[in-house]
Amino acid sequence: MRLFELFLFLSNIGLFTLIVLLKKGRRRIPISVVSGIATLLLVIHWTVEGYRVQLFFPYCITIIFLAISSYSYFRKNGPKKIPRFMLGSAYTAIAIMLVVTACLMYAFPVFKLPEPTGEFKVGTQTFQFVDTNREEMFDEARDGKRELMVQVWYPAQAGTGKYAPFIPDTQILRYMAADYGLPGFIFQHLKYVSSHAYSGAEVNSAQISYPLILANPGNGSSRFLHTSQAENLASHGYIVAVIDHTYNTFATEFPDGRITTSTTNDLFSPDQDYQTGRRIRDKLGNVLTDDVTFALDQFELIQSGQIPSLLKGRMDLGHVGVFGHSIGGATAYDAAYDPRIAVGIDLDGGLYRLHDREGLRKPFLFINSESYFDKLKMVVDNRVYTDAELKRMGSTREWEDQVTEDKKLELERMRVTAEEGGQVLYIENTEHLNFADVQFISPIFNILGITGKIAPERANSVINAYMLDFFDMYLKHQGGILMKGPDSRFPEVNFVRLRN
């Protein structure tokens, strides 16, 4: 909660308290004074912090009290008697408005992203890449090539001016709200959330080059929802490129003003059999994997100077990593078959294209939520769902049997990468969305069980620590302490040993 909006809200409570507790003859001066203070706070709040829809009621209350106190001050006639039921109704309405405002301010705060923990300042730059060799298959209305927006975070020289905003394109916020089934205006306050990166800052000269890490958001997510992870890695000496997989994000805005929204959910139907759904997911996954391969091709062109950028010559393309969340984690795993990619991390994502190739013979880290690990553990323990559980899940035994077969293969893939120096972990009290910055947007996500019981700041801190340690071990040949086993600093983290 921002300072002046808090003061404005408190001044509204003060006005309400005065009008309820003071007798008529003693209200005039105190209400005029507090009303003036509230008006001043409103002006400062609008000027310094910016308005937001969650404070609509305090804005109205402040203006109404200003009008009433002004009228009261200048009128010559005595006060008119107002019926008691009208006063009671007005008091009740104000009380309800203040309670609703308190709830909205709690549910949709202008939050602060966690500070990066590394020694470097952070810069950011955004690229548009067009793959002239691939037709866009997810937009039937447009005959065009596959286009991607990719945002890069990197170690920077000391920045000047303001930090870049957390939201790269505020136009997309209404699509984000629609994705959660909320009114389009409800997330507009996120435009006031700041990142910790400077737009277009020079690359830090402390090193000649920095390892490159490619990152992939989950289905219906967005690149900006991995800002805290990207900033943290960049502050420790990595160049991190997060790919907006067009039509798989809730919205992506291009430089010419076009906005694409998610259409890939339309590929899946609840009436499909399991095998059909798996083939469609594999087909989608193939496109996402090709996005990563193409993005890496483009960064090679940037490195050589064929695409102009301040990153020219500053990437260590001999040490490339990849990570992702949800289907983006599966994308990271599948893309890691590319010989140019040395190592990767899957954040709570089930794999795709399991039947297309042999296991990945590279170090790979799987960090799972507790809820997803519980599902994997059922497979490990050969536990079968009861009829009551299937009914509660809205599933069938045939469907879950096929899921189990694929999960067995997925567990085998995890075991193979663990043998190559990877690890399989899960974090207690986490849910799927604890692995992206969406966990900071609203505390009601925790109440609804969308995120886990763990505090978002703690979840972020734990995930960042293990990601950094793993990448440091394989891309910088240092660190690796946390990969050795349980650590008392992170009691939430559990190592999973998969049997052959």
Q: How confident is the model at residue 416 (pLDDT cuts 50, 70, 90)?
A: very high
Q: How confident is the model at residue 161 (pLDDT cuts 50, 70, 90)?
A: confident
With the CA atoms of 427, 432, 436 and 439 taken in that order, what torsion angle do they form, in degrees rounded to the nearest 10?
A: -90
H runs (alpha helix) in 420-496: 444-447, 456-471
Which residue(s) pair with 199 in the sheet? Answer: 124
HSE (CB half, 13 Å, CA atoms) of 134? 20
Q: What is the mean pLDDT of residues 449-476?
A: 97
pLDDT, position 31: 85
Long-range contacts of 137-142 (CB under 8 A, 24+ apart): 137/287, 138/246, 138/247, 138/248, 138/263, 138/264, 138/287, 139/247, 139/260, 139/263
Check: CB of residue 200 under 8 Å from CB of residue 310. Answer: yes
251-306 per-position pLDDT tens digit: 999 999 999 999 988 777 777 888 998 999 999 999 999 999 999 999 999 999 99
Query: Does pTM top 0.85 for this prediction?
Result: yes
Calpha distance 436→456 (Å, rounded)? 10
pLDDT, position 75: 62
Domains of the chain: 3-107 (no CATH), 121-495 (3.40.50.1820)
pLDDT, position 20: 85
Check: CB of residue 192 under 8 Å from CB of residue 220. Answer: no
Asked whether the predicted pLDDT for residue 55 surpasses 70, the reply is yes
Q: How confident is the model at residue 81 (pLDDT cuts 50, 70, 90)?
A: low
Strand spans (E) along 301-405: 315-325, 343-347, 364-369
Among 84-88, 287-291, 397-401, 460-464, the range scoring the smallest mean pLDDT is 84-88
Check: CB of residue 422 under 8 Å from CB of residue 364. Answer: yes
